[in-house]
Amino acid sequence: MEERFVLTDAQWAKIEPHCLGKVGDPGRSGLNNRLFVEGVLWIARTGSPWRDLPPWFGKWNTVFKRYRDWVKAGVFQKLFEALSDEPDMEYAMIDGTVVKVHRHGQGAKGGPKARP
């Protein structure tokens, strides 16, 4: 299994209390909430379909069903709120790219024309 996490330990400590399926919660507990959240972040980061989820995150269908349950329960909104109090501005950037238009591409020619 690959041990590359997107979440830092400090971030995980903030969101862990909001996760469903912790030991002591009613119902069935998840095997590893952090690995599940990392799997969801992998999908979000890569834009890949669920079927392409690497096997070390678990069976894609199981991860998807759990994701769907968490969305219905509003868990991801709570996780976002827990992490958004201290935004990480390290990777914030502004793209100032300017592309010049060639001299004949500045507008439409001749205005509107009547169709016969």
pLDDT digits (tens, 9 = 90+) for 49-88: 999 999 999 899 999 999 999 999 898 888 888 777 766 6
Q: Is the pLDDT of residue 27 over 60?
A: no
Q: Is 80 a member of any domain?
A: yes
User: Structural domain tally of the chain?
Assistant: 1
Q: Is 17 a member of any domain?
A: no
**Which range of residues forms the domain containing residue 77?**
30-88
Q: Is 95 a member of any domain?
A: no
Q: Is 73 a member of any domain?
A: yes
Convert 7-21 to b/e letters by CB count within 10 Å (16 or more is b): beeebbeebeebbbb
pLDDT of residue 1: 45
Q: Is the pLDDT of residue 14 over 70?
A: yes
Please name the residues in contact with 29: beta carbons below 8 A apart, sequence gap of 6 or more: 21, 22, 23
The arithmetic mean of pLDDT across residues 2-12, rounded, is: 74
Q: Is 51 a member of any domain?
A: yes
Q: Is 2 a member of any domain?
A: no
Distance CA 31, CA 27 (A): 13
Q: Is 109 a member of any domain?
A: no
Q: Is 9 a member of any domain?
A: no
Distance CA 27, CA 4 (A): 30
